[in-house]
Amino acid sequence: MNVHQSLAIGQPIAPPEAISSATEPDAMVRFEGISKTYPAYRGKPGVNALKNIDFAIPRGSITGVIGRSGAGKSSLVRLINGLEKPTTGRVIVDGRDISALAGRELRLAQRSIGMIFQHFNLLSSRTAADNIALPLEIAGWAKADIKARVTELLALVGIADKHDRYPSELSGGQKQRVGIARALATRPSVLLSDEATSALDPQTTRAILDLLANINRELGVTIVLITHEMSVVRQLAKEVVVLDAGHVVERGHVADIFTHPKHPITQSFLAEVIGDSLPVSLASRIVAEPSAGGQAVIRVQVRGAGAGDTLVARLARELGLDVALLSARIDEIGGQHVGALTLGIPGSEDAVTRTLAWLSQHQFAAERLGYVA
């Protein structure tokens, strides 16, 4: 885990801004009143996979869609590229209602929507170059143009030397680079990533996520990232949508969601990635009741650069209390420093009440974790 421990941290937490509403004009993808029901089949009951979905994915953004298995992530992504039709509602991609298209019109629209997959989906009988060439062949490009474009794409994804290699001769990360090059071949405006790093080790995952970040930055491609891993969202996305049982239960800027997770499912995802931010040696000593001469343990969430470094001194000075910094943990999330300071203050109810009131007044989210002797 990429954890930056630093005390030069912390801004009071501002209220989270919602990401674009479904009607925002600069949306690349808009879900309008979407529901998706798979009909009953061979004695199996029908499934309401998506319900009342209304939100927009901003043009040029990297948006993570996170949810447990069965939450509806793949259904959502298949609606974006028109592989599934919604039961109700419309999906507008780059200004066009993709849910209304069929046949040749749909196939043409799909050229502007690239997709990468967990298991890469490469053709084993084709070299890296020929895999990348495939969508261009289907689109009817001239041979010379395909050759030039493939060379360019291989360089873009950092495997210019793998031109003639077959998938069986490539590592997982290299295979995914071929998948990314193939997905970008027809210059799409949207790139859909369906668990694209789930089969890769952490180091390769980081390299692929860095590549996707570059592609977003350099080419302006909007990226929609389907994942069940909050660490992937944390590393790459600026916006996140949390799906649970077919509903969007939470969405917003990644840094806001990480500091204000409201829904239990979001909280459980965060617990997996941030873990308990307390060192074990401290966590194991915390008890529910105060003891004479002991300290109350208060956790304070901080965000951004600036205010956190003076927090301890200000608290001590303004409230006239002895304040100890028991632990500090800061991550960089969505381009912001986000984390928590754990403070020890005198264990009296009066000190705890005054401290929590002061923190709240200064817009820091804080909680009492318990007491240490």
Ligand X SMILES: Nc1ncnc2c1ncn2[C@@H]1O[C@H](COP(=O)(O)OP(=O)(O)OP(=O)(O)O)[C@@H](O)[C@H]1O
Site for ligand X in 123-182 (CB under 6 A): none
Stretch of 63-71, 142-150, 211-219, 341-349 contacting ligand X, by CB under 6 A: 63-71
Q: Is 199 in the site for ligand X (CB under 6 A)?
A: no
Q: Which residues of 11-32 are buried (b: 16+ CB within 10 A; e: fewer)?
A: bbbeebeebbebeeeebbbbbb
Two structure tokens written together for 117: 């997959």
- Smallest distance, ligand X to C-beta of residue 43, A: 13
Q: Is 10 in the site for ligand X (CB under 6 A)?
A: no
SS3 content of the chain, % helix, strand, coil (to 5): 35, 30, 35
Burial group, residue 266, by CB count within 10 angstroms (0-12, 13-18, 19+): buried
Q: Is 64 in the site for ligand X (CB under 6 A)?
A: no
CA angle 288, 290, 295 (to 5 degrees): 105
Terminal-to-terminal C-alpha distance of the chain: 31
Q: Is 247 in the site for ligand X (CB under 6 A)?
A: no
- Smallest distance, ligand X to C-beta of residue 21, A: 24
Binding map of ligand X across residues 17-46, x = CB under 6 A, - = no contact: ---------------------x--------
Stretch of 73-81, 87-95, 124-132, 303-311 contacting ligand X, by CB under 6 A: 73-81
Two structure tokens written together for 331: 């991550």
Q: Return all residues near 47 (Cβ < 8 A) that are at least 6 apart.
A: 37, 38
What one-character DSSP code corresponds to residue 353?
Answer: H
- Smallest distance, ligand X to C-beta of residue 65, A: 9
Q: Return all residues near 219 (Cβ < 8 A) that are at least 6 apart.
A: 184
Q: Closer to ligand X at the Cβ: 66 or 351?
A: 66
Stretch of 15-23, 68-76, 86-94, 174-182 contacting ligand X, by CB under 6 A: 68-76
- Smallest distance, ligand X to C-beta of residue 192, A: 12
Measure the CA–CA gap between 118 and 105, rounded to whole angstroms. 28
Q: Is 49 in the site for ligand X (CB under 6 A)?
A: yes
# chain residues binding ligand X, by CB under 6 A: 12
Q: Is 228 in the site for ligand X (CB under 6 A)?
A: yes
Stretch of 62-70, 251-259, 274-282, 332-340 contacting ligand X, by CB under 6 A: 62-70
The residues binding ligand X (CB under 6 A) are 38, 47, 49, 67, 69-75, 228
